[in-house]
Amino acid sequence: MNNYETVFILTPVLSDVQMKEAVEKFKTLLTDAGAEIVHEESWGLRKLEYPITKKSTGFYQMLEFKADPSLVATLELNFRRDERVLRYLTVRQDKFHALYAEKRRSLKQSKEVKEN
């Protein structure tokens, strides 16, 4: 199993419930196929660098997961079929990227603990 990171942008016309529903759909797709979700981040509504289908903003979502390489093709096929997804990008993490992501998560968690 390899480590992967995927970032996808959802259309801004969705309500919060619809956005969470779309994210859950992709998370369920991954877990049902045997993937392990390592980390999830919602970056919220952000301005796009250039308009995509006449939309200038989008909901950004990032998922880190461990899965077989064949599962990535299935995930990306579902991204293409879902009209709520504007753009997506999935990359395989090498060992350095995985270590950096782990450090970033632990640093973020320690900051959250200090704030509370």
This prediction's pTM: 0.84
Class of domain 2-115: alpha beta
- pLDDT tens digits, one per residue of 12-29: 999 999 999 999 999 999
Q: How far is CA 95 from the centre of its chain?
A: 19
- pLDDT tens digits, one per residue of 19-74: 999 999 999 999 999 999 999 999 999 999 999 999 999 999 999 999 999 999 99
